[in-house]
Structure 1
């Protein structure tokens, strides 16, 4: 199971070139938002501010995952936020950046608009939040924990796909979003409920412990964790009784939700929208039982939790062609390759499209070497290394 998680993780995490494609789309949207701010004459004299946050900024973005962009138009934007949000999205649509289908959620605590970029821009899902107060600060904090805990990122990538396939990942539908899920993973590694050796947590690649940690996580939050009476505090590194903290007592509205004291704003409950937690808890328990009951002789253990379909392969291809098409017009890119256009084209070689579409035939993983990242040390005798 450890090797399957490792292969999966190195296959789905964004490569350098895919990250460049995301950055390209973000820059284009950022320019349109700045133009919109000037056109709407919002807060003249103040500098509008935008940034990436969420999984795209922390390196934990799944294929077809949402890119989170925050843009601060200033206080005047919120006075007529619904109308201004629709004007902003219409301008993005007319520019050809996004498809005509978009959703505006102006009543949320932090207003957000959901859209998808046009096919020529990669068909990438985008979430644009307006005047997000804590997003930029949270990126730095999350990166710090991910760097200190090497087991956290691969577990996060597997569990995000697990929830995505079961449609339990959308906070506005009561699901478990990336941020509260990451808090649960960090807390699990801090608490170490089954007292695993410290090397299993700090050196999972050397000790080959990712499979064991995944099963422990599913057991802990599927059967052991007391959702009704305890809350997670990552900053303290503990799971504490809800009655022990006055501010947390105010969040005691639904004993079935997971209560998480936010790492950034200590007065916020990061798990406040997890109304579907009983369903998620049941899914964790069933996944743990399935992993225990699946015979080791099976081709893939991880396939009982996560699978891929052909759409993922098409998405990788769309990013590849987007970057190739646009990069021909970027002098900074062309200068680095000089006149060697063959080297330029070869450097953007896409993922092996005939690789694993379902995690059920892991012999292909070893043959294609898709568990290795392009751009790392090449294997002897191989002109390039895929994943």
Structure 2
């Protein structure tokens, strides 16, 4: 594994095994966190699209929400945009035609989803290959981004878990609602609920063992959470609520979904409603719990897995395509000092060792 290879000279610092997993989660976060060059590239994509929108509707207001707004985005994550203006109906086709005219998107990538719960335009930017979703007059996304930022401040461990979990779901094609997975918003709410109701530790403490938290997250949602009868509530400190109780608040007569998560910003809305593959998500969480709990058990230290020295590497992988894509971004949008912009706020000798070895691995061992 990439983040494991960079540490092979100093593997003993990971013991005991849960501490090793903790350090691997931190290293993965530091490596995958958005670099300044990636943010600059994405801002250019937004600027190009915003110029087209302003040309059509000069008074329109374009806002960013979702993971690009919160900073919790992977290198291949979408950009979510919402356009505010005075329309009776979302002008999807009009914007689609303008985007095609200006050759902003790859021609076959533009899709108008006018029958979706929230009608959107999906496209892939031609220059950068960044995917973009554009909606109209939907305020909840912007409010949700502010809500998430507040919880990132409240729970400093939240971003570390989110980056690992996003990558875990991405490589299993379970990171999109329309393919049966769960949305980033659902995932973040699940992690927040887990931290709110964690029985043993102060999850606000950034020094808590991230390896233990990751395993216990997988244990909760892979083994113990009752998807049939229980819903998740975030507001008022968090709680598990019987679905019968949740149903009384549902808008438009909806019944609670299998993965029922009350929207803290719109209590009658079930955030997990579209996730028809929730049981598949449960299964892969169970799988991850099995793999990681075995990897950190005393027995595993007696019978190590020689095929994978990295504990975290047993459940997630980075493709060469993603690594090459990030290097291309660096060459086009900046210099080679990007790693030092993305370390945690506290730079320790251990984390500095990680970063230096990771740089040597990327640029000297190709």
2:326 paired residue among 313, 316, 338: 316
- Does the 8 Å contact 2:83/2:136 carry over to 1? yes
* Equivalence map 1:1-387=2 (5 Å): 1-37=21-57, 47-76=59-88, 78=89, 81=90, 84-101=91-108, 102-119=110-127, 122-192=128-198, 195-198=199-202, 201-204=203-206, 206-207=207-208, 209-236=209-236, 237-245=238-246, 246-248=248-250, 250-252=253-255, 254=257, 257-294=258-295, 295-296=300-301, 297-298=304-305, 299-324=309-334, 348-349=335-336, 373=343
| Aligned mates of 1:177, 1:149 — CA distance in 2 | 20
CA distance in 2, matches of 1:374, 1:219: 27
Distance 2:70 2:126 in 1: 24
The CA distance in 2 between the partners of 1:6 and 1:312, in whole Å, is 19
Distance 1:137 1:267, change over 3 A: same
Q: For residues 161-217 of structure 1, give each alpha carbon's deviation from its aligned partner in whole angstroms, at most 9, with x where no partner exists.
A: 11111111111222101001100000001111xx2222xx1223x24x100000000
Aligned to 1:365: none
Secondary structure at 1:202's aligned position in 2?
Answer: coil
Give distance in 1, aligned partners of 2:133 and 2:194. Answer: 28
Q: Deviations over 1:113-148 (max 9, x none)?
A: 1111113xx211111122223121111111001111
If the length of structure 2 is used for normalisation, what is the TM-score? 0.81
CA gap of 1:2–1:376, structure 2 versus 1, over 3 A, is: closer
Q: Could you say what the CA RMSD is over the residues aligned between the two structures, in angstroms?
A: 2.7
Report the CA distance between 1:27 and its aligned residue: 1.7
Distance 1:158 1:319, change over 3 A: same
Secondary structure of 2:122's counterpart equals strand
Structure 1: state its 5+ residue gaps. Answer: 39-46, 325-347, 353-369
Q: CA deviation at 1:51?
A: 0.6
Q: Secondary structure at the match of 1:260?
A: strand
In the alignment, what sits opposite 2:8?
none
Aligned partner of residue 69 in structure 1, secondary structure: strand
- How far did 1:372 drift? 6.2
List gaps (5 residues or longer) in structure 2: 1-20, 360-366
**CA deviation after TM superposition for structure 1 residue 90, in Å:** 3.1
Normalising by structure 1, what TM-score? 0.77
1:94-123 CA-to-partner distances (Å, cap 9, x unmatched) read 32322112221111121111111113xx21
By relative contact order (CA 8 Å, sep 6+), the higher-ranking structure is 2
- Equivalenced residues, count: 323
Kept in 2, the 8 Å contact 1:8–1:371? The answer is no
